[in-house]
Structure 1
């Protein structure tokens, strides 16, 4: 599908790198950029509210510290909002900026609401390696919406007009959704390599010729497709796909995102966790 509305989430203490990455990608496809600047309350802090006079002096002091911290957080959010507005005003993009100060439990839901009304969420390197904000943001925009996410690791050259794309295929619903969401990217690429790791020929999964069905599907959409059947040699499938992407000079990897709720707490589940340890290529994910 065409990406006309893109979401970028950044923390109040983050640098401009993630927003600049998202802005550059939006400029390629003339998409609207929505930026959400987030600040998390300390656990147990809560938003200060007026209550009847405290009997306990210690309680009053604690309330004062909460108000003081809240005021400080609001000032940081306002400052970050102004910085991003100045950055984006210098571009020719259509954009919008929102801020939100919430408790840690609410981060995923707040991001989910924004991601539902955007075509794609960009996860830049600063957010990706933020151990506090990164996991709930990724859970909210990827696992809870059905919308795709483009992960851009540090040092990767991201583009929404890739020349060579590697598709990690395993005949599962998640991989199918990733391919469907990336159709515009795949049909516009010069080369699309569909890679299967240790595929089994069977009629309930990969068919008698593993990769043939998805290759035919992509060809009907105008993609120039080749199929590579890879042997793992005992290595994790993710590592095999990552190395093959490098060997074929791919600009991007497209694959399904897997994982139970327990695995999600580690940012990505299953084969997609390699991106944290191997920051090599942009990764287009869908659930």
Structure 2
């Protein structure tokens, strides 16, 4: 689907760089940009601290600072000529995952820039709210990587699961514009109830019907981890982006970052578009 509305989730720290990337990507595809600034309130140390004058004073200062930050964000975007809106979440009682998910329902793509990607507090909230609550694709941008919504070469990490299929469908427009899409499988099992008798053939045919230039790359792990194999192949083909499915359950955050998904995040060297 085309990305006509992009939601970028900004944290308190590093918001400037993340916003700049979001503006660049929105401009590439003439998308409306929604900037959501998320601030997490300090956790009360005592049961009744939220009633104390000192806590209320800190809260008022935080809200004033939040309002000033929103004004700064608006002033930065306005000269770009982009269609945009700016909103905020001040998360006090629970995490902001629900609020992120509510706003993500009306976006085609969630964007987590380098600062959000590196935030151990904010990144799980984006995953829970965006991927699992709203079911929207999320583009994660690690630090020090180039990112574009018009990639020339895409690596599609394929394992025949619904999540991988959702990721492929969510990135169809990018794949149509790409010069090549590499359907990449690591140690696939050739069985009718797994990857089919010819692993990768079904998804290759599906994408080819959309006019996408595809190739099927079957890789042996040779004793390496799946993520390492995928990363090496991404380097070999000079990929601009990795597209993959995410697995897990939104209520079990300790599990949703497990396995290949967790390793892909921790070792990321490319922008990753992930869907569930």
Deviation, 1:133, is: 2.1
TM-score (norm 1): 0.90
Q: Please show how residues 7-156 of structure 1 align to structure 2 within 5 Å.
A: 7-44=7-44, 63-103=52-92, 105-156=94-145
Is residue 89–residue 96 contact of structure 2 (8 Å, CA) maintained in 1?
Answer: no
Matches within 5 A, 1:225-244: 225-244=214-233
Change (3 A) 1:75 1:109: same
Distance 2:12 2:216 in 1: 44
Give the Cα–Cα distance (whole angstroms) in 2 for the partners of residues 232 and 202 of structure 1: 19
Alpha carbons of 1:236 and 1:264: their partners in 2 closer, same or farther (altered >3 Å)?
A: farther
Query: 1:172-211, aligned counterparts within 5 Å?
Result: 172-211=161-200
Q: Over residues 21-78 of structure 1, what are the superposed CA-to-partner deviations in whole Å (9 max), with x where a residue is unaligned?
A: 11100000000000111111122379xxxxxxxxxxxx79961011111111111101
The answer as to 2:156 corresponding to 1:167 is yes
Q: Which residue of 1 aligns with 2:207?
A: 218
Displacement of 1:244 after TM fit? 0.6
Deviation of 1:272 after TM superposition, in Å, equals 2.1
Instruction: From the CA coordinates, give the structure whose radius of gyration is larger.
Output: 1
Structure 1, unaligned runs of 5 or more: 47-58
The SS at the match of 1:105 is coil
Runs of 5+ unmatched residues, structure 2: none
Q: Could you tell me how far apart the structure 1 residues matched to 2:148 and 2:136 are?
A: 18
Q: Could you give the per-residue CA deviations for residues 191-238 of structure 1, whole angstroms, max 9, x where no partner exists?
A: 010011101111112111111111010000010011011011122212
Could you tell me how far apart the structure 2 residues matched to 1:236 and 1:4 are?
36
Distance verdict in 2 for CA 1:187–1:228, change over 3 Å: same
SS at match of 2:257: coil
Rounded to whole Å, the distance in 2 between the matches of 1:32 and 1:261 is 27
Q: What's the offset of the Cα at 1:262?
A: 7.7
* Distance 1:104-1:123 versus aligned 2 partners, 3 A rule: farther
Contact 2:153-2:178 within 8 A present in 1 as well = yes
Question: For this pair of structures, how many residues does the alignment match?
Answer: 275
Deviations 1:222-281 (A, max 9, x none): 100110110111222122111111111010001101134586347733212234332311
Q: Distance between the aligned counterparts of 1:37 and 1:267, measured in 2?
A: 24
2:233, 2:13 → 1: CA distance? 36
State the alpha-carbon separation in 1 of the partners of residues 118 and 65 from structure 2: 21
Is the partner of 1:90 in helix, strand or coil? helix
**Structure 1 residues 263 and 199: CA distance shift in structure 2, 3 A:** farther
